[in-house]
Structure 1
Amino acid sequence: MERNPTIKNYELQEIAMGLTFVGGFMDAYTFIQRGGVMAAGQTGNVIFIMSDLVDGHWGNVFIKLMTMLSFMVGISVTNVMNYKLQPTKLHWRVIPLVLEIIVCIVVGFIPTSASNLLVTPPLAFVMAMQISAFTHIDGRTYNSTFTTGNIRNMVNGFTRGIVANSSDDMSKGVTYTKIVVSFVIGALASALIQKVVAIRSIWIAAVILGLILAYYWFIVRKR
């Protein structure tokens, strides 16, 4: 299939859908297996922190705060990488993918008896790098770990497409539908796989990320 030359390598639909699958997979994993913490969904963590504060669960509050801090650091680090490496010929977006794969593999070995401080902050860091490095799909902004904004864009696209009879807006609606569905399938797959292999289910995310990395590198070298 001939690709639009104006679309950057990291904006391809296949990559965006794969990363969004991982986003849904990861939040379901940390919520179910790792103490009800969201690795990427910081809105959820804010709500959970308020609940833990009221109930006096100070340990849970600290873990969630460290997770949120790690998420912010991940965003900052990725911005620095973009600023420093973008002018070079280095395809720097490979780095967040490699780090994410490594963290997922290591986390799969950490038992549930260990503190979640060893789990959710590192995952939040690499998930923040993912959403900061891969920000667009076909030239449109999206989020590979949160679904609220993607749902809004999906509905806006279809609504405006119907009202204004706009094929471009309808195309936008279809694009965001793919992203929303990918997130849902990722979360569902995670919940189902966890019933079989529990904490090691995160290795599935590592495999998916490895495939995305290989595909991204293939496209980069080909184009």
Structure 2
Amino acid sequence: MRNASVMPQDTRFAAVLLAFLGGALDVFCHIRFKTLLATQTGNIILLISDLKPDSWQMMLIKCLSIAFFSLGFVLGIWAKRRARTAYWRVWLLLPLLFCTAIFPLFLHASSTLSVALLGFGTGLMMLTFTGSHIEAYPFTILMTSGNYRRMLTAWYDYFSGEREFAVLRRALSYVTVVVSFICGGLGVSVLERVVGDYALWVVTVALMILLVYYCAAVYVDALEERDV
């Protein structure tokens, strides 16, 4: 057993997976449902742009996304405050894992049910890793606008005179998550044209890797009671 200096959810590997998941989820759901799941501020903008009498179905889908994302997030707060071990994060990731796994098989025929369930699972996941870092640096999970701004700031600091390794590492960390977000979205976009709804299994696989990685780190470093 070793003493973990960085919690599993704060490692660069976890940040890469979370950024990839955010890009993949949002791009797939925008292609499939014309709505967003992880980026709810963008979803609100899309909702306002659809305020037309002949687009009520698109408005309904976006309202469902916002409502069920919010429900999942609030339920996640409730679960977090009652957590007794570090494995609470694992339990909150399972609904999204399950929904993405069965969507191509059973849920694809119903847009409203799919968006509701995927939105709920995404809300839980958002709360699960809210407050995570890339090592010591603040990190916005599933979305990339904040990370992109931090990346630009870090590069500005580095080239304006702070030629320190810590500043360079911070800049490269944000580059990594921004690129991961883009790769997630681009990968799903390409796969969706080839395999259709089965492209969502990219998210399922990434979630499984994240779950296995987190559980293994908690077990090896004996974080069950330290990382609650």
**Same fold by TM-score greater than 0.5:** yes
The residue that corresponds to 2:105 in the other structure is: 109
149, 159, 167: which one pairs with 1:162? 159
Please, which runs of 5 or more residues in structure 1 have no aligned partner?
none
The residue that corresponds to 1:9 in the other structure is: 8
Q: In structure 1, what is the Cα distance between the partners aligned to 2:46 and 2:175?
A: 29
* Alignment partner of 1:149 is 2:149: no
CA separation of 1:218 and 1:117: change in aligned 2, threshold 3 A: same
59, 66, 73: which one pairs with 2:64? 66
The residue that corresponds to 2:116 in the other structure is: 121
CA contact (8 A) 1:17 1:178 kept: yes
Determine helix, strand or coil for the equivalent of 1:102.
helix
The residue that corresponds to 1:203 in the other structure is: 201
Determine helix, strand or coil for the equivalent of 1:97.
helix
CA contact (8 A) 1:31 1:38 kept: yes
95, 100, 125: which one pairs with 2:96? 100
Aligned-residue offset at 1:17: 0.6
* Alignment partner of 1:31 is 2:27: no
Aligned-residue offset at 1:90: 4.4
User: Larger deviation: 163-172 or 21-30?
Assistant: 163-172
Q: Aligned residues: percent identity?
A: 26
Task: State the one-letter code of the partner of 1:31.
Answer: H
Aligned-residue offset at 1:145: 1.7
1:68-83 counterparts in 2 under 5 A? 68-83=66-81
TM-score in terms of structure 1 length: 0.90
CA contact (8 A) 1:157 1:171 kept: no
TM-score in terms of structure 2 length: 0.88
Q: In structure 2, what is the Cα distance between the partners aligned to 1:180 and 1:9?
A: 20
Q: In structure 2, what is the Cα distance between the partners aligned to 1:211 and 1:133?
A: 16
